[in-house]
Amino acid sequence: MTTPILAAVDIGGTKTAAALVRGGTVLARTQAPTPASGAAAVLDTAAALVRSLGGAPAAVGVGAPGLVDPDTGLVNAASSLIHGWSGVDVRAGLRDRLRLPAVVLGDVQAFTLGEAVHGAGRGLPTVLGVAVGTGVGGGVHAAGRLLTGRLGAAGHVGHVPVPQAVGRPCPCGVSGHVEAVASGPAMAAGYAARTGALGVALPEVVRRARAGDEYARAVIATAGEALGTALAGLANVLDPDRIVVGGGAAVPELLDALRPAFAASCLPVLGAVPLVPAALGTDAPLVGAAEAARRALASGAPGSPARPAAAPTGYAGTDVDPAVAR
């Protein structure tokens, strides 16, 4: 049976990307700045990007920031990166704009699904994905399924408490979470706190660390140690075959500090779990979102875009074939 072409969208705080994907391969890709004017404008932009790619996608998969309800596509909770994002029905918004079946999952869950099925975790039973960027997120793919949890919060690595972050406020409002020291902005803020050098972004902190700046090195080392400690606790619970680490702030120096901290805090038998860089780069969330759409088309599960009732009146997209292999 012909592998369907699927549209994929990755909504971020600063940019939104869209792609056409077939069988894990990105056929075409485009992006635009994420509007600052609110949720409706963000969904309009996402839909326009998909339309600009042409083709005849069978469905659209969306990786969205925040806690996304796995059954409804509703954003249960979100940061302030996108104004008015919490409470938005992303699935209905894009379904209605594109006249296509739609499925929505968290952005880092999409990253994890892409890497687990088509990237650095391909072929392995249990993969823990971690993305370090503006925040710290994660996801779990086990026994062929993405674990989302009741509210879509499963795999939120960034909100694991660690001793390195005691007293540090996390963007979620709770102190002591790993994101408070290990995200890109947190590392930049940590450098500013140590040196008084305001306005130094993470790329410059990394450059200074490589040039021998001890303060920059210490900030990145603390971030890596904190993340390694958090991942060790998750490994003790999940017993993963591999941990895949990606994102714009997952620099080699961070991984170098992460690995020994991980080995020191996990069960000895789990110390050899491979911690590897992501393989798909910025395509990972798009590939994962497309994979989520493919699975929904194949399963025809209640609430999935495979159900004709989920499409609006006048739906003009490609008909769903429920016999497509999962």
Domains of the chain, residue spans: 6-109+282-299, 124-278
Of 66-70, 104-108, 162-166, 234-238, give the lowest mean pLDDT range.
66-70
Mean pLDDT over all residues of the chain? Answer: 90
The half-sphere exposure of 280 on its side-chain side, counting CA atoms within 13 A, is 26
The CATH number assigned to the domain with range 124-278 reads: 3.30.420.40
Predicted confidence (pLDDT) at residue 176 exceeds the cutoff of 80: yes
Q: How confident is the model at residue 283 (pLDDT cuts 50, 70, 90)?
A: very high
Identical fold for domains 6-109+282-299 and 124-278, yes or no, is: yes
* Strand spans (E) along the chain: 6-11, 15-22, 25-33, 60-64, 67-68, 75-77, 102-106, 126-132, 136-142, 145-147, 242-246, 275-277
233-242 pLDDT, tens digit each: 999 999 999 9
What is the token pair recorded at 54? 């042409």
Fold for the domain defined by 6-109+282-299:
Nucleotidyltransferase; domain 5 (3.30.420)
Residue-level pLDDT at 1:
60
Predicted confidence (pLDDT) at residue 326 exceeds the cutoff of 60: no
